[in-house]
Amino acid sequence: MQLDRQWIEGSYRTHSMRSYRVRPAAAGTRVLPTVIVIQEVWGVDEHIQDMADRFAMSGYQAFAPDLYSLGSVPEALSAPRIQAVKRFLDTVPPQAWGDPSVRDQYLERLPATQAQELRDTLGRLFAPKDNESLVGQLRAWVDYAEQLGGPVVSIGYCMGGALSFLLATEDSRIKAAVCNYGTAPAAEALTRIEAPVYGFYGGTDHRITDAVPEVSERMTQLGKTFHYKIYPQAGHAFFNDSRSSYDVDAARDAWAETLGFFNRELKA
């Protein structure tokens, strides 16, 4: 399928920002529903652009906002630096991802300049995020999408999954939200959700998945709509086919479920 791909500019609080935008070329100027595709911690990399492309091939307009582009992209968060971090993390044990002291044992084996660049980028990637600003950026892209016409839904992966869920608590214009292996908003924020939410989780991703039944119970008590599906053999980031975490069976099923969910809710 021929796709119309472009990077577009927007603004938030007087600062510039950018988003990858894609739609089916054959749709011409027809108004389409928009999917806001929210990045993993790695930024709007090839995987996230590919996910946006998949939605365009399914008949949607997709925006993948670059949440690191506000004002300008810091050198530490540039694509080459993030790719270098990915390559490094592929060489260390899984416990090194969340434990800086373990990471340092492996960083110390590298040339000093390389190690320092990796430390700087790791520090930026895994530092606490300003969710207020990130959701503000996403809402600005919802504004942009609304000007083009058509309803808006959201989906995210890992960090983006949490933000997709959180965006639904802060913006009533979101018609449906999907959270892929992301944490849920605080209990108080759940009271503000109006859109239905669908979550997809890996059974071995205990840090996130173990909390899902409690989230579901809370949503039910509040009279909110929350569906979820846990894939017992899958882990975190099972949708990312550029990483060793990819689980083809879970990803195939979650993709079909996501398309069906959006289709149903946009017709409702």
Task: Give the domain ranges of the chain.
Answer: 3-70+130-267, 75-126
Could you report the per-residue pLDDT of 86-142, keeping only the tens digit for each? Answer: 999 989 987 788 788 899 999 999 999 999 999 999 999 999 999 999 999 999 999
Q: Is 246 helix (H, G, I), strand (E, B) or coil?
A: coil
CB-based contact 227:207 (threshold 8 Å): no
Using H for helix, E for strand and C for coil, what is the string for 72-106?
CCCHHHCHHHHHHHHHHHCCCCCHHHHCHHHHHHH
Helices 79-89 and 112-126 pack at an angle, to 10 degrees, of 100
pLDDT along the chain (268 residues), means of 10: 97 96 97 98 97 98 98 95 94 84 93 96 94 97 96 98 98 98 97 98 97 98 98 96 94 98 93
β-strand 174-180 against 3-12: which pairing, if any?
A: unpaired
pLDDT at res. 94: 79
Distance CA 138, CA 132 (A): 10
- At 45, the amino acid letter reads D
What is the β-pairing status of strands 34-38 and 152-157?
parallel
Question: What are the distances in angstroms from CA 54 to CA 7, 14, 268?
Answer: 17, 32, 23
Helix (H, G, I), strand (E, B) or coil at 156: strand
Is there a contact between 156 and 179 (Cβ–Cβ < 8 Å)?
yes
CATH class of 3-70+130-267: alpha beta
Please give the Cα distance from 247 to 235 (Å, whole number): 8
* pLDDT the model gives residue 60: 98
Question: For the whole model, what pTM was predicted?
Answer: 0.96
- What per-residue confidence (pLDDT) applies to 237? 95
